[in-house]
Amino acid sequence: MLDSALELVRLQENGDLTAVEIAEKALASVRDTQDSINAFTHVAAEQAIEAARRVDAKRAAGEPLGILAGVPVAVKDVLCTNDMPTTCSSRMLKDFRPPYDATVVSKLREADAVIIGKTNMDEFAMGASTETSAFGLTRNPWDTNRTPGGSSGGAAACVAAGSVPLSLGTDTGGSIRQPAAFCGITGMKPTYGRVSRYGLVAFASSLDQVGPMAWSVPDVALLLEAIAGFEPRDSTSLNQFVPKYTDVLQSSDLRGLRIGVLSETAETAGIDPAIMDVVNEAAKVFQSQGAEIVEVNLPHSKYWVPTYYVIAPCEASSNLSRYDGAHYGHRTDSIDMHSPDGPLVSAYCRSREEGFGSEVKRRIMVGTYALSEGYTDKYYNQALKVRRLIKGDFDAAFSQVDLLLGPVTPSTAFPLGDKIDDPLQMYLCDLFTVGANLAGLPAISLPGGSDSSGLPIGIQLQAPALEESRLLFAANAFQTATDHHQKRPSH
């Protein structure tokens, strides 16, 4: 029952369920799955029931209700919430309670959503497996010995586990789309600036984007409709009209639509053949609905990952410099009063050493090195030039086609512990996703099939900037012709 937000809205409108009953079911599901999945860092049971009561009271009084009235939603623990902790799954912020809500959280409340809690993630959103969390790893509901992906692993797992129909994730290099693919759900990264970053704890400011996760495209469209829009307090927010995204899902006729398939993808080293089989099968589905499949080339795609892993750590190094144990965040109890650098520097160093995990430290060090004197031009500025070339590749491709089709990940969900000690292998999980972040484009991950073990495989569609409606239209057409998004883990 908890796998369709639109159905929950309909059931309430018909008087078949109350918001309180729905919230109680969601909280019961969280309790049942938390020990085995560990999707949440904080469960806001009292606040959720109280929010649900307010929805029921408004409905009884005949007052207007928001589009998410009574629908349980989970929020990634990197988005500020003034009534519950925001930890970024880090010891550095384990006791942090923000004095304000992120814009997307305020929009959820305005839409009368019921926020169930905060979801587990890789520390400061740095990772691809949700194994770097200070609150313990999250497990994939399809196979609890495997990763749910990352960094929005908790946000994907709580939907796949049937606890909530909707969740908010963030995507810096694929952190919505990769866990969505691993957990067999639908996840969307909107155009950079389409959804405000105000109140999102920054990892890489020019790449981060908040986005919706759900089982189906209609639910993703509904959540995007609720959270998109201009925020004057956010200098990167786009002041553009927000369409009613659910209205674009009425047809599955794709005649006239040109979908590009990347010619170089099949030759990519290390890609599981089952992934390419699913992508090729998806192309046939789109063809059967009237779309034209065109082979396209993105000449600089081989530079996506190296470019991303210069720019993102540089921005992380700058953004995370504020966590020093003095202003806020973890403060050490063991200051060396006799340190040759003095007690203040000792406090800074020890607070950061104790507060940050190894992956966060690794990226801070890489970024600091690439920004250091004598190396900025060699690494960071060079990466920015390549980023412009990558954006140019996408512009050229979208002059020929309307959408791009390809894989989300090189493999299905890998076993927990498999890559945690091999950072380079972990970084290659982002092989097919970071391009959209570098170019600021919208992209969506859809369940496209499964491998021989029954693990979900995702397909990815990418569109030009601000063409979320086109993306959702084609994605929904795919889901009307297939049933992959209707499959559930057996737990």
Annotated catalytic residues are 76, 151, 175
Q: Cα–Cα distance between 329 and 62 in angstroms, integer? A: 45
Question: Minimal CA–CA distance to 24: which of 15, 32, 14, 35?
Answer: 32
Q: Is the CB of residue 309 less than 8 Å from the CB of residue 366?
A: yes
My answer on whether omega of the bond before 152 falls inside 30° of 0, hence cis, is no
474 SS3 class: helix
In order, the DSSP letters of 114-139 are EEEEEE--SGGG--SSS-S-TT----
Beta-carbon neighbour count of residue 257 at 10 Å?
18
72-76/166-170 β-pairing: parallel
Q: Cα–Cα distance between 8 and 118 in angstroms, integer? A: 21
Question: Minimal CA–CA distance to 352: which of 362, 340, 361, 342?
Answer: 361
Q: Is the CB of residue 286 less than 8 Å from the CB of residue 405?
A: yes
Q: Cα–Cα distance between 143 and 153 in angstroms, integer? A: 14
Q: Cα–Cα distance between 445 and 81 in angstroms, integer? A: 27
What count of residues does the chain have? 491
